[in-house]
Structure 1
Amino acid sequence: MTHTTEWNVRVHLSEDGGRTTARVELDTGAAAFTGTGTARCAPGDRDVPEIGDEFAAGRALRDLGDRLLQTAEHDVEARGAGPEPRTSTPYGWSL
């Protein structure tokens, strides 16, 4: 059975005084998820906004990924299947 779908992701970045904030919004059509992340320029480092964007966006995407995995685990448990030990591939889906 083939299943194809498209999800839309928007990344919002803002930088102020060496601190970058990122918000990632995912719309699956059936649900919406948000991940957040921040980055701060270390004292003494040259302020390069692009690097702050990369760190903040990466952390926001990681947060979003964690939220998606938690939702998937909850959905599987709601259907009567318990989580497998973390030493194996979760629920048969490859990492």
Structure 2
Amino acid sequence: MRTTIDTVCGKWTMPVLWELLKSESRYADLHRQVAGISQKVLSSELKSLVNHGLVDREVEPTVPPQVTYRITDEGRSLEPVFEILHRWGHEHRSVA
């Protein structure tokens, strides 16, 4: 359980994975999609997710290089868990 929590439950990890579950993204697009995340934190999160095998990083040999991030099959296996958490949050959010 601890490994799972350490891997996917950081403040920004789940929002980044949630966006990548929707579609592959380039860095700048992902930065816009995840509101409030700094460039430094996004870079760190992506590096960690790539290292854990949840995200794939493809570099196109252009000038400047274009980098596309996409969820791996292992990362996609988290989709049902994220759907449950999303539904739970929607159903139990406080009306303030």
In which range does the TM-score fall when normalised by the shorter chain? under 0.3
> Which one has the bigger strand percentage?
1
TM-score (norm. length: structure 1): 0.26
Structure with higher RCO (Cα < 8 A, 6+ apart): 2
Structure number with greater Rg is 1
> Which one has the bigger helix percentage?
2
